Structure 1
Amino acid sequence: MVAFYSSALDGVAANPALPTPLLLRLIAFDGGGQGPPFQALHRPGLPEPAVAAVLTHPIVDTRVHFATSGQADAGQRARLADDPSPEVRAAVAVGPEWTHDPRTKVGPLPDAVCRRLLDDPEPAVRSALLHSRHLAPSFLVSLVRHPDPAARRAALRVWDELTADERATLLDDPDREVRRPAELCACPHDARLTAALLRDPAVRPEALRRGLLGRADAEGLLAEGVHLVELAGNPSLPADLVDRLAVGPDDEVRLAVSLRPELSEARRAAIDFTVAPHVTKDVDWVAAGIDDPDVLRRAATSAHPLLRRAAARSPHLPAGLLRLLAADEDVIVRTHLAVHHRDTPEEVLMSVYARLGGTFSAWMATGHPRFPREGLAARYADHPEGTYRQLAVRDPAASPDLIERLSHDPVVWTRQAATRDPRLPLPRLLEALTVPELASSAGANPALPPGEMAGVMDKAGVPA
């Protein structure tokens, strides 16, 4: 297969204007044993005839790719749960590992399908299911009394949704690998349990970070001088011991103290701590209140950059806090807004685009619903940097002549952006199909005539 026709075929597979008959022809392709192009299986909104063809495709990798597609809905993927290949069933069980948009949530498989997968004779399928990030809480709750300890451990992921009786069952589990993590879940409200966990070196740091500390234990741990970062973040640490850690010699410990939720802004500002310019740190109380307006207000209005960075990761920011953080001087705050919030202002998106460049900026320009379009041609068509010239292609007012000019740009990313645009004059589009670095973009252009798409398939060896 000539290389650029293979590349053009990948583009055609992703082309949103690909007619269903050609899509079905492409999906039936064995690809020399590799199956049809990846792009054909990860298209959004596959028509039912195409889905049916994928489900019965003779090449296992084809069914695996569809089972892990972030574009397929859970009901479609669930139809592969009884596939004869354990590899396919494991792919269904674990689900999509990535999506085109990090703000998109993957729907969970139906509970009944999950139960079938958990009873699968292949251990790899059962393990894949229990490691999936897409399980419904209702299914996880149902695992509390499952005979498999690994399943009971998975139920701990929804500890806060369990009844008192269900929690007690897990705390009394005969398997230590279930019982220990359950105790860690319970220790924030149980000083006696925390004291017992502190005697186990394997879980001591976690128990120290989360557990309910008695006064004597807290003083003893401070005197030992180990795991002080975890101790500094413990919610139950007495106030006078917090004060002692706040003036200790270790900068990392002082930083941990500065993130405590009960501190006033004045008290926080009085602590001598250092925040690296590009560091983002998980802050437990902000993450737990990611949709709580009061928690978000406290973090977003703080002078502490790590708290504002943590708040900016919430997709639930109220409009006022969004405006406040959009004006923040901290570049990481604005970057988090651009990634996580659909209503991020255009000027913030543009500033993040300018700072990051490369693949991330390309994703932002094409994937963020508020990334600007109008006026980009006038502003950027002659910009000295190719990263900006490709923005001109997004402008609805860009002329076919401009699109053609940009398809000859010195920077390949700009040439490819222009080649994907349906305003590109047809003669140049057909020419681009034969240019190796442009063939894929030309194949993906919605203005490519169906006859030309079929011609690409012919030349790439796809049977009619």
Structure 2
Amino acid sequence: MTRAVDAAQVREAAAREVTGAGSWDMVAFYSSALDGVAANPALPTPLLLRLIAFDGGGEGPPFQALHRPGLPEPAVAALLTHPILYTRVTFARSGQVEPEQRARLADDPSPEVRATVAEGPDRIHDQRAKVRPLSDAVCGRLLEDPEPSVRTALLRSRHLAPSFLASLVRHPDPAARCAALRVWDELTADERGTLLADPDPEVRRSAALCACPRDARLTAALLRDPAALPVALRRGLLDRADAERFLAEGIHLAGLAGNPSLPADLVDRLAVDPDDDVRIAVSLRPELTEARRAAIDFTVSPFDRGDVDWVTAGIAEQGVLHRAATSAHPLLRRAAARSPHLSPELLRLLAEDTDAVVHTHLAIHHPDTPQEVLMSVYARLGGTFSAWMATGHPRFPREGLAARYADHPNAIYRQLAVRDPAAGPDLIERLSHDPDVRTRQAAASDPRLPLPRLVEALALPELASSAGANPALPPGEMAGVMDEAGVPA
């Protein structure tokens, strides 16, 4: 049976899912009016070029000017030849920049810039967005770069096209051949055989680990290799003698408990192991009935996102998703909730789930998440994630928010009133004086804010950045902010 966990920790668990960290940023972010202007979508090209030319005391222009979608060609040209190294590095790292534009820095004189181009963006604003990879030709040039740091950065990039990775099977660099293993399932039988017979022992080991789920001989050899043992024990095609030996020795039992080829009677023995990690690994096995799962005593952590191999492998398969989404096991439902391919029926089922992390996963990963789920996640989590969801999720509600929430006692709801297209200038101005700083910032960035109050907000430290980013800010005021910040005309 599943034991209860501290519900107060669910908020922290969701923070780990969204940020990879252990805490929420609950303090409003203060920045300058210049930073806001740099992010302003209505910034005219001449002022953008003026800002890009700013040396910022040797640190370069504000990074917001470099992380803008749809940069005009004159701005791109200025950034490609910018004299400050950090500026070119920042531009190369931007997830808002098209790969064709970043690729133009592949021949930059600085190895740091070239390595940044090779590795690609490290963060993107929209959790659901995908970064388009560099072309295979550009990646090929970067892989031949004379600087080892550039080649290393390319091979660890998360944004390489499968076609490029597959082309590395016979590359002279063993590290490149190892990278080809990331698309093992897309390689031909001949290409797999080449990697299994590779002259480099690390490539051979890694290839064997890819092949061992269907090969008992390879698995037996890997179990004699200490470096490969943990993965082989978890994934490989085991014979009974090896499985019994490792169970008797008590080595890597949590991995063994999840091995798909483990005999049923050994699964039963591990289901009552004293170690909770072992029991929970057994409880996640795909062949178990719901009654069998419920008979296992395990504790679900609020920090566990639901990383279940067989669900991840079948993230687009309706049969797999149905088994996971309809399970009583919280981690299986969490795993299913991370799929953007849920059928309408499964989506409705998980939307009614009582597990808060299931709802958080739906809000992040599924574009059709019901509005009531989005609202519940928004109110529960607050902070940066909720602000992103309210502006970026295609189904987040907008109409009627002003009437419902403008006078709500909870500030997290008052912020939503600004999202309502029917909110008038008077309400936006009133909210710009709200006791809650995030509500004031939301109002200060809204183009319906009356101009006198918008100009006034530019001078207030907690509102300056939001006001600077307001697309209704006149170009003359934007230029005035640059003048005051010492940006040369």
Aligned to 2:217: 192
Matches for 1:32-71 after TM superposition, within 5 Å: 32-71=57-96
Deviation string 1:77-105 (CA, Å, 9 cap, x unpaired) is: 11111111111111100000111101000
Please, which of 113, 118, 121 is the counterpart of residue 96 of structure 1?
121
Do residues 26 (structure 1) and 25 (structure 2) align? no
Q: Summarize the Cα distance change of 1:241–1:102 in structure 2 as closer, same or farther, 3 Å threshold.
A: same
Provide the rounded CA distance (Å) in 1 between the counterparts of 2:303 and 2:151. 39
Provide the rounded CA distance (Å) in 2 between the counterparts of 1:33 and 1:273. 56
Deviation string 1:113-145 (CA, Å, 9 cap, x unpaired) is: 000000001111111000100000111111111
Aligned to 2:317: 292
Please, which of 173, 178, 199 is the counterpart of residue 203 of structure 2?
178
Matches for 1:292-441 after TM superposition, within 5 Å: 292-441=317-466
Give ranges in structure 2 of 5+ residues lacking alignment.
Answer: 1-29
Provide the rounded CA distance (Å) in 1 between the counterparts of 2:442 and 2:226. 55
Deviation string 1:382-402 (CA, Å, 9 cap, x unpaired) is: 122222211111111112111
> 1:345 offset after TM fit, Å?
0.7
Aligned to 1:240: 265
Do residues 169 (structure 1) and 194 (structure 2) align? yes
Between 84-93 and 362-371, report the one with greater CA deviation. 362-371
**TM-score, normalised relative to structure 1:** 0.97
Matches for 1:4-23 after TM superposition, within 5 Å: 7-23=32-48
Q: Which has the higher contact order (CA 8 A, sep 6+)?
A: 2
Match of 1:35, SS? coil
> 1:197 offset after TM fit, Å?
1.1
Letter in 2 for 1:274: T
> 1:274 offset after TM fit, Å?
2.2
Give ranges in structure 1 of 5+ residues lacking alignment.
Answer: none
Do residues 204 (structure 1) and 229 (structure 2) align? yes
Do residues 262 (structure 1) and 284 (structure 2) align? no
Between 244-253 and 378-387, report the one with greater CA deviation. 244-253
Aligned to 1:152: 177
Provide the rounded CA distance (Å) in 1 between the counterparts of 2:400 and 2:235. 52
Aligned to 1:77: 102
Between 18-27 and 344-353, report the one with greater CA deviation. 18-27
Deviation string 1:293-317 (CA, Å, 9 cap, x unpaired) is: 1111111111111100000011111
Task: Say whether the 8 Å CA contact 1:70–1:98 is kept in structure 2.
Answer: yes
Aligned to 2:159: 134
Match of 1:79, SS? helix
Aligned to 2:10: none
Provide the rounded CA distance (Å) in 2 between the counterparts of 1:150 and 1:212. 27
> 1:247 offset after TM fit, Å?
2.8
Match of 1:394, SS? coil
Between 161-170 and 245-254, report the one with greater CA deviation. 245-254
Q: Summarize the Cα distance change of 1:6–1:28 in structure 2 as closer, same or farther, 3 Å threshold.
A: farther
Deviation string 1:212-244 (CA, Å, 9 cap, x unpaired) is: 001111111111122111111000011121122
Runs of 4+, deviation exceeding 6 Å = none
Letter in 1 for 2:37: V
Task: Say whether the 8 Å CA contact 1:6–1:460 is kept in structure 2.
Answer: no
> 1:279 offset after TM fit, Å?
2.4
Between 169-178 and 142-151, report the one with greater CA deviation. 169-178
Match of 2:299, SS? coil
Provide the rounded CA distance (Å) in 2 between the counterparts of 1:89 and 1:291. 36
Provide the rounded CA distance (Å) in 2 between the counterparts of 1:271 and 1:86. 54
Provide the rounded CA distance (Å) in 2 between the counterparts of 1:48 and 1:159. 39
Matches for 1:448-463 after TM superposition, within 5 Å: 448-463=473-488
Deviation string 1:327-349 (CA, Å, 9 cap, x unpaired) is: 11111101100011111111000
Letter in 2 for 1:300: A
Provide the rounded CA distance (Å) in 2 between the counterparts of 1:193 and 1:6. 57
Letter in 1 for 2:400: G
Task: Say whether the 8 Å CA contact 2:31–2:461 is kept in structure 1.
Answer: no
Q: Summarize the Cα distance change of 1:297–1:287 in structure 2 as closer, same or farther, 3 Å threshold.
A: same
**TM-score, normalised relative to structure 2:** 0.92
Letter in 1 for 2:486: G
Match of 2:479, SS? helix
Deviation string 1:364-387 (CA, Å, 9 cap, x unpaired) is: 112211111111111211122222
* Sequence identity percentage: 83
Task: Say whether the 8 Å CA contact 2:334–2:357 is kept in structure 1.
Answer: yes
Task: Say whether the 8 Å CA contact 1:66–1:77 is kept in structure 2.
Answer: yes
Letter in 2 for 1:331: A
Please, which of 244, 247, 262 is the counterpart of residue 219 of structure 1?
244
Provide the rounded CA distance (Å) in 1 between the counterparts of 2:149 and 2:248. 47
Letter in 1 for 2:236: G
Task: Say whether the 8 Å CA contact 2:174–2:203 is kept in structure 1.
Answer: yes
Provide the rounded CA distance (Å) in 1 between the counterparts of 2:455 and 2:350. 46
